[in-house]
Structure 1
Amino acid sequence: MTDEEVRQIAVDMGKIFNDGDDEVAKRLVHPDFIDYEAPEGSPRGPEAYANTARWMRSVWEGARWEIVDSFAKGDKATLRVIFTGRQVTDFMGVPATGKSVRVQHIHIYRVTDGQVHEHWAVRDDLELFRQLGAWDKPLMGAPKPAPTA
């Protein structure tokens, strides 16, 4: 496969999350697909990946993963995305806040024979939790609070 074909398959994987397109999952996700972002021992394959997408869309109203950069070399493609959504149910122990978030992710896919076999991700979860009010990391350049006596 060409680098561009590998990149396009990775880009098309976004339809599973953004559009809830289970047919894309059935077509592009290999039956032995491993999602290294999921907890160890999680189910594998297209249905498991589609289930993760359904869950994320149920937690985040208006969830979108906007691709802002992408490239591929050999059998791997990398996407830099901006995730946005409004939290409407519990997420990783944080009760629904109703707050909207905007955070960056990096996703790497290994593609062979037209299907995705592996996925890795780096998400800025600290920033996500800061925006939800679950962590009090100050913004860059924001004044530091005065010490209390």
Structure 2
Amino acid sequence: MATTDISEAAKAVIRRNTEEVQGGGDYALYDALFSDDFIDHTPQPGRTPDKAGALELYQTLRAAFPDFHAVIHWQAADGNLITTYKTYHGTHKGEFFGISPTGRVIQFETVDAMRVVDGKITEHWGVANLFSLMEQLGARPGTP
């Protein structure tokens, strides 16, 4: 398979994760898309850097923001390593990091790099603008 084909197939896996798992809550698909030896090189606070920890984060986000979804702005590929820039959206209807539901509509940007091997996500590195999210939820002193 040519590098272009590998990259396009890997992009499609990442898009399915973003749209169907994160945005749709399809956790059976999560199990199919993520390798059992998946490692998160940048786990969120309180999460383990493995497949179970990433699933727990996804479930926490959907519980806090039931309409959680992302808009993918662009993806770039270096072989099977896919970088995705996206904006997450949702309405705060459940507890999140100890913050009671506010009903606020939020959005925050994320850049993720994920490696896909044999159709499964094996590694993740990411940076999310959680400062902006916490500010939108009123969790920073001095925010309304």
TM-score interval, normalised by the smaller of the two chains: 0.7 to 0.9
TM-score by length of 2: 0.82
- Pairing partner for 2:56 from 51, 56, 71: 51
CA deviation after TM superposition for structure 1 residue 77, in Å: 0.3
CA deviation after TM superposition for structure 1 residue 105, in Å: 0.9
Say which SS state the counterpart of residue 100 (structure 2) adopts: coil
The percentage of counterpart residues that share the same residue type is 25
| Count of residues in correspondence between the two structures | 137
Say whether the 8 Å CA contact 1:110–1:119 is kept in structure 2: yes
Q: Could you tell me how far apart the structure 1 residues matched to 2:11 and 2:77 are? A: 5
Correspondence for 2:130: 125
Query: Who wins on radius of gyration, i.e. which is larger?
Result: 1
CA deviation after TM superposition for structure 1 residue 61, in Å: 2.8
Residue 42 (str. 1) matches residue 48 (str. 2): yes
Say which SS state the counterpart of residue 140 (structure 2) adopts: coil
TM-score by length of 1: 0.79
- Pairing partner for 1:13 from 13, 17, 26: 17
Say whether the 8 Å CA contact 1:130–1:137 is kept in structure 2: no
User: Cα gap change, 1:41/1:56 in structure 2, threshold over 3 Å: closer, same or farther?
Assistant: closer
CA deviation after TM superposition for structure 1 residue 68, in Å: 1.4
Structure 2: stretches of 5+ with no match in the other structure: none
Say whether the 8 Å CA contact 1:20–1:50 is kept in structure 2: no
Correspondence for 1:97: 102
Correspondence for 2:8: 4
Correspondence for 2:30: 25
User: What code does the residue aligned with 1:73 have?
Assistant: D
User: What code does the residue aligned with 2:127 have?
Assistant: V
Alignment of 1:49-88 (within 5 A): 49-88=54-93
The two structures, once aligned, show a CA RMSD in angstroms of 2.2
CA deviation after TM superposition for structure 1 residue 129, in Å: 1.3
